[in-house]
Structure 1
């Protein structure tokens, strides 16, 4: 234990001092230096002795030397310092994983949606071949090799998502002045691998394969009970799977014959719709209203639909254990349940619904999304209308 009085016998160089507590007992050694025009004071963990003070002086000289050369990274020496908010957390030899991890941690602190965080983490896992590459060494040749190696395993869209996360993460490395340019900025994977278009020559969106009326009839006929009610409800309203599992009794009005979508279940968490346009009211027929009423009268839960165990549905479980069995029994080619939403959209388009109205029913911001997914159906209806008017 060294008191203030005893410390007077120790020699300290400029910029090195001994800190004391309220009882005048030495508590640590502090360095003082100027970095980027800001006076910095940091405590170092050397023993409070002449040898410790000498080591602190040597460390301070090393820091000042690196500052003069422009090679000083604050986090290298003081990784837990509050000053990192000013100077960034860059360290010598920082890797791609260091920055991607930091980007995800920041996203969590900002309270981004769980589904977004999950997507970031999946992209981080996909970037594993680049994890140990130092950020200062990453170049576009490495990116080209990464893209080509990944192309045989995953779709171009997945690769693009991974690079998008990497690009955003490395923007912080620029802020930290670790790199001058982001190697991912402006990088186009289409220059290095074949990228399949989502729309074919007939303006058909490859992801849109709606069920025909005959298929819907077979599907409905191949199920019963709550599963049948869910499928009929989705076919009649075009709601997303994340929305029907979150539907509550208070969201259903059997008098005005409409349901209102307020929430969705994403990554097992119930939350409000992603956008304001996602919150919407959808008219239902008397038949659908009766189906919902029957489901609601079966239990005391706040939710409309419950599984056979009396529990809240999980959309993935429904798809794997119910939906797939129903389609197999119906003899209908397997497609994801989301195709019921596409079926709702294309059916309404073929019946000549106003596109702005359909936009609101589906929870989109504008009809542009309808043109992107259902352009060929819209064109077909317009041609049919012109032929009818000409006749």
Structure 2
């Protein structure tokens, strides 16, 4: 630092000033107008003539960029409080910078943990594009990314990743870093083959319910609480996230029904995703008895408890219990979710009212049933016509 009397002798350009601490010159400050806002920022040059000249050159550069519309506040003042007004966009901002910001914003807005986790998985999948500058990202890069990714993951996963990228780069437009979002309008299906979820027979490829014979084999191979869980899921069609969250107070043995209020997602218990997800499901006497037996085993608030005295983790159940049961039963492996599909297909084949089934499964409308179980519904309707015509 130099004395105030010596600092005052230095040549200063307009907009460049010196800040003082008592009788000592402490720093150099720039003053300029950006987007109608009067800005004052301290720069790190030493208070001497060379520092004053450098500050003057910086101010000239800033004003020149402001005039051209190419000035980004964070490029020059990354720690400034003014970034709360002007945003933190920088000229060299990368894809990862914007995706990270998008995820941080999602967490601050309190989005569901499962949603944030999905965003993070998409961010990891976008790693080949992380270091690409947003200003340099183009559709050719996206095409190459899609084609390379298609060798490892399905088209739907790629689309999910690009959806996160598209939303993240909308902020780059707001920041005026780019004029147009490079991912907007980009169609994965134009560059790789996208397999349809429904085949020519209207069968949803993801729906492979268990046959009655397979269900019998699975029941025989299971035992104890694991068997009770499988029987309960088969009888009610609940999701894995719902049975792990089921509490004793949600079970009425008198009226023989269970009410679904909560679900465990990403290890957090929360209310059902939709209003329709909150529902009451009637249960048979047999199911009521197995639930009663499970609840009498322990003092926990939850219905189903594992060997450690804790309520189950659905992923752990699938990996360590469900897989062993199917192997023992010599039944082709499918995810536990197929028990839900089995419940739906079985009820459709019995001619249950589709609106009633919609409520039992926690859907908003029968449209979701048609999307997943169209072939089962068609088969039942053809069977009914044949019987009526006989």
* TM-score bracket, shorter-length normalisation: over 0.9
Corresponding residue of 2:265 = 266
The 3-state SS of whatever aligns with 1:221 is: helix
CA distance in 1, matches of 2:302, 2:219: 22
Report the Cα offset of residue 292 of structure 1. 1.0
Per the alignment, do residues 82 and 383 of structure 1 end up closer, same or farther by CA in structure 2, a change over 3 Å counting?
farther
Output aligned runs, 1:27-38, within 5 Å.
28-38=27-37
Report the Cα offset of residue 51 of structure 1. 4.6
Offset from partner CA, 1:244-284 (integer Å, 9 cap, x none): 11111111111221111111111111111111221111111
CA distance in 2, matches of 1:20, 1:233: 76
The answer to whether residue 102 in structure 2 is matched with residue 103 in structure 1 is yes
Corresponding residue of 2:293 = 294
Per the alignment, do residues 54 and 281 of structure 1 end up closer, same or farther by CA in structure 2, a change over 3 Å counting?
same
Report the Cα offset of residue 304 of structure 1. 0.9
The answer to whether residue 209 in structure 2 is matched with residue 210 in structure 1 is yes
Output aligned runs, 1:239-258, within 5 Å.
239-258=238-257
Report the Cα offset of residue 367 of structure 1. 1.2
CA distance in 2, matches of 1:315, 1:29: 60
CA distance in 1, matches of 2:24, 2:225: 74
Per the alignment, do residues 298 and 28 of structure 1 end up closer, same or farther by CA in structure 2, a change over 3 Å counting?
farther
CA distance in 2, matches of 1:34, 1:268: 50
CA distance in 2, matches of 1:158, 1:53: 55
CA distance in 2, matches of 1:50, 1:256: 89
Offset from partner CA, 1:285-339 (integer Å, 9 cap, x none): 1211111111111111111111112122111111111111111111211111000
The 3-state SS of whatever aligns with 1:206 is: coil
CA distance in 1, matches of 2:261, 2:52: 64
Corresponding residue of 1:157 = 156
Corresponding residue of 2:353 = 354
Corresponding residue of 1:15 = 15
Report the Cα offset of residue 31 of structure 1. 2.2
Offset from partner CA, 1:144-200 (integer Å, 9 cap, x none): 111111111111111111111111111111111111111211111111111100000
Contact kept in structure 2, 1:11 and 1:50, CA below 8 Å:
yes
Output aligned runs, 1:147-186, within 5 Å.
147-186=146-185
CA distance in 1, matches of 2:319, 2:145: 33
Q: Which runs of 5+ in 2 are unaligned?
A: none
Count residues in correspondence: 390
Report the Cα offset of residue 207 of structure 1. 0.3
- Deviates most, 104-113 or 226-235: 104-113
CA distance in 2, matches of 1:63, 1:175: 20
Report the Cα offset of residue 47 of structure 1. 3.7
CA distance in 2, matches of 1:290, 1:370: 30
Report the Cα offset of residue 25 of structure 1. 7.3
The 3-state SS of whatever aligns with 1:157 is: helix
Contact kept in structure 2, 1:257 and 1:283, CA below 8 Å:
yes
* Pairwise CA RMSD: 2.0
Per the alignment, do residues 92 and 339 of structure 1 end up closer, same or farther by CA in structure 2, a change over 3 Å counting?
same
Report the Cα offset of residue 212 of structure 1. 1.1
CA distance in 1, matches of 2:256, 2:16: 77
Offset from partner CA, 1:317-373 (integer Å, 9 cap, x none): 111111111111112111110000001111111111111111111111111111110
CA distance in 2, matches of 1:362, 1:33: 62
Report the Cα offset of residue 10 of structure 1. 5.4
Per the alignment, do residues 106 and 27 of structure 1 end up closer, same or farther by CA in structure 2, a change over 3 Å counting?
farther
The 3-state SS of whatever aligns with 2:136 is: coil
CA distance in 1, matches of 2:36, 2:260: 54
Per the alignment, do residues 204 and 248 of structure 1 end up closer, same or farther by CA in structure 2, a change over 3 Å counting?
same
- Deviates most, 327-336 or 194-203: 327-336
Per the alignment, do residues 54 and 327 of structure 1 end up closer, same or farther by CA in structure 2, a change over 3 Å counting?
same
CA distance in 2, matches of 1:172, 1:306: 46
Per the alignment, do residues 294 and 20 of structure 1 end up closer, same or farther by CA in structure 2, a change over 3 Å counting?
farther
